[in-house]
A and B are shown apart, each in its own frame.
Chain A
C-alpha cells in the first residue's frame, strides 16, 4: 500500500525544520511544475534554472507566512530565476520594465498551445521576458494581474508586452 500523500502545508513545515526527506519530497513534487516554467523560459538552461529556483525557494522557505500559498509563491520564484538564468546565459539586457511609448500594439489573439508547433525553436527567437509572459499567460493561464505581479512590472506593461510577445511568436512560428 502506498504511503498517504502529505499535504503541502505539512510538507513545507517539515522542510522548514530542515528535514532532508521532506525537502527532497517537496522538490520532487514541485519539479514538473517548475520544470514547465523553466523549460519554456530558460530553454537549454532549464536544468540550471530549476536548481537555482529550488535553492532560492529553500532559502526563503523559513519566511513563508502562508504554506497554503506555496505553489503560487514557488511559481513566482521560478519565473524570476528562469528569466535571470536565461538572461545571463544568453547575455541579453533586461527589457525596460515600463512600456516603451509610441509604437501601436499588435492585435494578436491568445495562442492556442494545442496547435503550436516547433515550440522550442520558436521560443528561442524571443527574449527571456517575452518567453516568460507567453508561458505564464498562454500555457499556464494566469491573469494579466498575476503575470504583472510575478514579473514585477506594471499592469499596462504586462498587457503591451504580452501583445508584442504573441506577435513575435506568431511571426517567428509562421516564418
Chain B
C-alpha cells in the first residue's frame, strides 16, 4: 500500500466556501437585503486592499456615507477581526455605530439595533479579475419592501468601486 505514498485524513478531498459563497449563505437567512455582483477588472489583492481600508474606501464609493471611523479592532478566533465602527451618513450629524467582521475577502457591517446591514465579498475570478458582491438592506420585518432600492444602491456602489480600480 505505502509504495504509492501515504496520506492522512487531511489529504481527503476538502470542500471550501469562498467569501462570495459565505455572503450568499448569509443573504438566504437575513430578510430585506438587496444585492448586486459583478466582475472588477483588477487583481483580487488590489481590490481587497482598497475595500478593506474602510475609513478611506467607503466614502469614495458609497454616496450615502460621508465618513467612517474605526474606533477599535479585536482579533476573532479562527481568523479575521471585529471592528467597532462609527459611520456618518450624508447630511446627518449623528453617527451610526456598527459591529463589523472583517475577514479575508469578506466584510460584514451590522448596525447596532439591527437597523441596517451591509455585506461585501470578493474572490479571485481569473488573473487580474475579481468577482465582487455587495448587499445591503434593513434586516427587519417589512425590510423586504425596500429590496429593489437596495439592489440599485448595491449596483451603484459596485460600479463606483469598478471605476475606482478598473482600467482607466
* Chain B 57-110 residues near chain A, CB threshold 8 A: 74-80, 82, 99, 101, 103, 106, 108, 110
Nearest chain B CB to A150 CB, angstrom units: 17
Q: Which residue of B has the minimal Cβ distance to A1? A: B74
B168 within 8 A of A: no
Report A-chain residues with C-beta under 8 Å of the C-beta of B78. Answer: 28-29
CA gap between A36 and B15 in the complex, in Å: 6
CA gap between A117 and B103 in the complex, in Å: 34
Known contacts A35-B15, A51-B24; decide if A115 and B2 are in contact (CB<8 Å): yes
Q: Are A117 and B24 in contact (CB under 8 A)?
A: no
Q: Are B25 and A51 in contact (CB under 8 A)?
A: yes
Nearest chain A CB to B7 CB, angstrom units: 6
Report A-chain residues with C-beta under 8 Å of the C-beta of B106. Answer: 24
**What is the interface residue range for chain A against chain B?**
35 or more
Which residue among A28, A119, A139 has the maximum number of chain B CB atoms within 10 Å of its CB?
Answer: A28
The 0/1 profile, CB within 8 Å of B marked 1, for residues 39-69 of chain A is 1101100110111001100110100000000
CA gap between A35 and B9 in the complex, in Å: 12
Report B-chain residues with C-beta under 8 Å of the C-beta of A93. Answer: none
Report B-chain residues with C-beta under 8 Å of the C-beta of A23. Answer: 25-26, 29-30
Which residues of B does A touch, CB under 8 Å? Answer: 1-2, 4-9, 11-18, 21-22, 24-26, 28-31, 74-80, 82, 99, 101, 103, 106, 108, 110, 114, 117, 119, 139
**What are 12 inter-chain pairs, A to B, with CB distance below 8 A?**
A3-B74, A19-B114, A20-B110, A24-B101, A27-B22, A39-B15, A46-B16, A47-B15, A58-B29, A116-B1, A135-B12, A139-B12
